[in-house]
Amino acid sequence: MTDLSTVPTAAPSLDDLAAATPAQPNADAKRRVAGGVVAASAEILDLSHRIHADPEPAFEEQRASAAVADTLRLHGFDVQHPVGSLATAVRATRRGGRGGDAPRIGILAEYDALPGLGHGCGHNTMAASGVGAAIGLASIADELPGEIVFLGTPAEERGSGKQIMIDDGLFERVDAALLYHPCDRNHVQSFPLASEDVEVVFHGLQAHASSDPWRGTNALDAMVLLFSSVGLWRQQLRPDARVHGIIQEGGTAANIIPDRTKAWFMLRSADQAYYAEMAARFRALVDAAAIATGTTGEVTFSGGAKTMKPNATLERRWIENAAAYGVVDQGPDPNSGSTDMGNVSWVCPTIHPDLAIAPEGTPGHSILFRDAAATPVADRTTLLAAILVAETATDLFADPELVAAAWRDFRAAG
Ligand SMILES: [Zn+2]
């Protein structure tokens, strides 16, 4: 079991959550929202544990998405599952009793696991906290304007499910997107890298490697040249950029000139504009390798994760709401991976705050982190995250000027 004392500002116990005084403004509404989460805590944690025990990889989250959809249906949400073009996407809405179309506040939840590892990214806690936040908000739905929009978003670990949901129109007229992520630290700001999977295939011509090699064109030579070019290119790349890859097909026999080779690369950068330059250069390196070897090269970009546009207005609300529960923000995360929440941040005001479920230094995407995601510490964090997401949404529902300020930040961020 995780040692509580080593987890940065571990979340309060259930009793302490119930007794805490939420931050102003809207403290009274927030107390009722937190009460809604506390009242449903057994159901919320059961959902987290069930998803943890039954991991499903990207695009295959049938049981997790069904459990999420069923729980929200029980709590009075209008549920679409599946929705859009993804079989495991969920959209659950509840209109506020005060009517009107605005604002629409989005509460997001991921539930995919890592192949061969399980919930090594702790998405079970995100799924449960997102559902918990929606349940908490539902307890004051009668007094809200606009609409609560819960979005269950598949495939964060591979394939950028959120981009597909954006393309499906599921983020239209959403004024804010809120999503907590489990971590070994507490911080609201992170700087995820733009990231994309790139498949490269070279096509050549087979020939006997000894009797008449001059009749062939060597697809492996093209691949070797591409890796050499990438290696040299790295010297000129900015420090925040990454290119890394593996050869998946390198030919079939040493005495056959390879007519087909295949590689899987990833490109990443902390700067969206620089990323576009990198993608163009990578394509040129493939073309150059093909020209040099008389082969043809194909490049397929997966359509990947984007960088994250920060939103100071939402971040401030989160930090103040969290401080009321004793959570101290530890400052921006210096080590970022990539997330398709970045894509959402280019569509509407977005935050992706992290809360600790494990001792500091626990590596993500590991057995240690997977096991931490089902401990009593993770449970406390899951409930706290549900409350903080719901309280931040409460602030947005209560104050049109706050929503306008979040949109101003969004536009100012480029
Ligand atoms: Zn994750």
Ligand 1 centroid to Cα of residue 98, in Å, is: 35
Ligand 1 centroid to Cα of residue 4, in Å, is: 22
375 token code pair: 């401990």
Ligand 1 centroid to Cα of residue 337, in Å, is: 9
User: How many CB atoms are located within 10 Å of the residue 333 CB?
Assistant: 18
The span from the CA of 222 to the CA of 201, in Å, is 10
* DSSP-assigned beta bridge partners for residue 177: 106, 350
DSSP one-letter string for 141-199: GGG--SEEEEEE---SSSS-HHHHHHHTTTTTT--EEE--EEESS-BS-B-PPEEEEEE
* pLDDT attached to residue 9: 73
Ligand 1 centroid to Cα of residue 197, in Å, is: 17
Cis peptide upstream of residue 103 (ω within 30 degrees of 0): yes
Cis peptide upstream of residue 363 (ω within 30 degrees of 0): no
* pLDDT attached to residue 49: 98
The span from the CA of 136 to the CA of 127, in Å, is 14
User: How many CB atoms are located within 10 Å of the residue 109 CB?
Assistant: 29
Ligand 1 centroid to Cα of residue 342, in Å, is: 12
Ligand 1 centroid to Cα of residue 124, in Å, is: 10
Nearest Cα neighbor of 389 from 47, 37, 13 is: 37
* pLDDT attached to residue 89: 98
The span from the CA of 94 to the CA of 150, in Å, is 9
Q: Give the residues of the chain that fall short of pLDDT 50.
A: none
* Angle at 108 (CA atoms; ends 368, 120), nearest 5 degrees: 15
Ligand 1 centroid to Cα of residue 174, in Å, is: 22
Q: Summarize pLDDT for 26-38 with one digit per residue, the tens.
A: 999 999 999 999 9
Q: How far is CA 240 from the centre of its chain?
A: 20
Is the Cβ–Cβ distance between 32 and 22 less than 8 Å? Answer: no
Residue 214: C-alpha distances to residues 258, 291, 408 (Å): 13, 16, 63
pTM: 0.88
3-state secondary structure (DSSP) of residue 297? strand
Ligand 1 centroid to Cα of residue 368, in Å, is: 15
The sheet carrying 260-269 orders its strands as: 242-249, 260-269, 194-203, 296-301
* pLDDT attached to residue 333: 80
The span from the CA of 40 to the CA of 139, in Å, is 11
Ligand 1 centroid to Cα of residue 263, in Å, is: 25
Ligand 1 centroid to Cα of residue 206, in Å, is: 43
Q: Summarize pLDDT for 94-108 with one digit per residue, the tens.
A: 999 999 999 999 999
